[in-house]
Amino acid sequence: MLSCRLSSSLDPNTVSVRRESSKDSFLTSGTRVLKHVNQIEVVKTYKSEWNLFIKSVTDSFAANYTCKADHQVLLSDVQLLILFAPKIDYSGISSPEEIVDEGGTVELTCAFTGEPLPKLTWFRGDVKQLTGITGSKLVMRDVKRYATDFYTCRGENSVSFEDYTINLIVKFHVEIDVMEKTIYVKRGGMFTLSCIAQGAPLYDAYWIDVHELKVKSSMWKYDFYSEPAGAHVPAKFVTLVTRTGTLTVFDFGTYTCEAKGEGTVARATVEVIEHKDSKEHVPHTSNGFN
């Protein structure tokens, strides 16, 4: 309801009152509605009032409204702001998935409409941890693989808030590292080989045994495990375990952990050596990756 009242110096019986807006020009003349007839009424609570009542307000009614009497006498001048929740402006945002090479620069952008104009804040991860960065752009230079994550831009105003999430993928060549490069084991015993494979993309990671066969869990002499190794980096722990009593003289030699990426293959080897009861052969141990 936008009020308009005559001053005491004007006679409501003889004066003519008109309403206009900065968008639609003349809206009413007296009590007659000229535009938006289904949404606008002129309400006269008192003889000297010509109040403008707008029903089912949309943001299209945001404008400057004036009420004038004869001879361009200004009775009221009101700016109407229509408050509405933030909405994503798809013409000014990054795609839902952005890919950048490690060491490069990436610029994530977002945009929202809303009244009042939304404040933009950036969050990281599924738990939406504050990054301390505000504004429409999140720029990262010399990007490391650990930047791989979900980044959320939140547009917030006094009405509500809306989120837009971007999945950032940092590409890098596949890499392989092994727990131990040499192990000693007795014939008839068993051993465990472990490696970690990293890469983006990382298509596959597996062990190749001494007979140059790709190890599968279905093989009678091996158990094979592959499990994720990190939350923000595409990495897998790949483990090969021999079953008890299967190790023969023909199973000593070189075992290879291999990973495949985009146009690249990485390999690392472990030498499995027969341990004999001789002082010449001393077991090699390691507490971590070499």
121-80-27 Cα angle (round to 5): 145
Reduce the DSSP state of residue 213 to 3 states and report it.
coil
Please work out, in degrees rounded to the nearest 5, the angle formed at the alpha carbon of residue 178 by the alpha carbons of 172 and 184. 165
User: Mean pLDDT across the stretch 210-236?
Assistant: 86
- d(CA 36, CA 16) in angstroms, rounded, equals 21
Q: Which of 197, 199, 138 is nearest to 173 (CA)?
A: 199
DSSP letters spanning 106-137: EEEE--EEEESPPEEEEEETTTTEEEEEESSE
- For the ranges 140-144, 187-191, 252-256, which has the lowest average pLDDT? 187-191
* pLDDT greater than 70 at residue 290: no
Taking CA atoms, 18 is separated from 9, 11, 125, 228, in Å, by 18, 15, 56, 72
pLDDT band at 218 (very low <50, low <70, confident <90, very high): confident
**pLDDT value at residue 278:** 54
Which ranges of the chain would DSSP assign to H, the alpha helix?
none
Q: Are 17 and 34 in contact (CB under 8 A)?
A: no
- Placement of tokens 């831009």 in the chain: 153
Domain limits of the chain? 18-80, 85-172, 179-274
- pLDDT tens digits, residue range 89-104? 999 999 999 999 999 9
179-274 CATH: 2.60.40.10
Q: How far apart are CA 167 and CA 150, in angstroms?
A: 5
Q: What is the pLDDT of residue 285?
A: 44
Q: Which amino acid is at 48?
A: S
Q: Which residues pair with 101 in a beta bridge?
A: 171
**Summary mean pLDDT of the chain:** 90
Q: How far apart are CA 67 and CA 75, in angstroms?
A: 5
Domains 85-172 and 179-274 share a fold: yes
pTM, full prediction = 0.73
What burial letters (b/e) apply to 211-249, b meaning 16+ CB within 10 Å?
A: eeeebeeeeeebebeeeeeeebbbbbbbbbbbeeeebee
For residues 185-189, average pLDDT: 90
List the CATH code of the domain at 85-172.
Answer: 2.60.40.10
Q: Bigger pLDDT: 233 or 22?
A: 22
Judge whether 249 and 199 are in contact, CB under 8 Å.
Answer: no
So what's the pLDDT on residue 287? 43
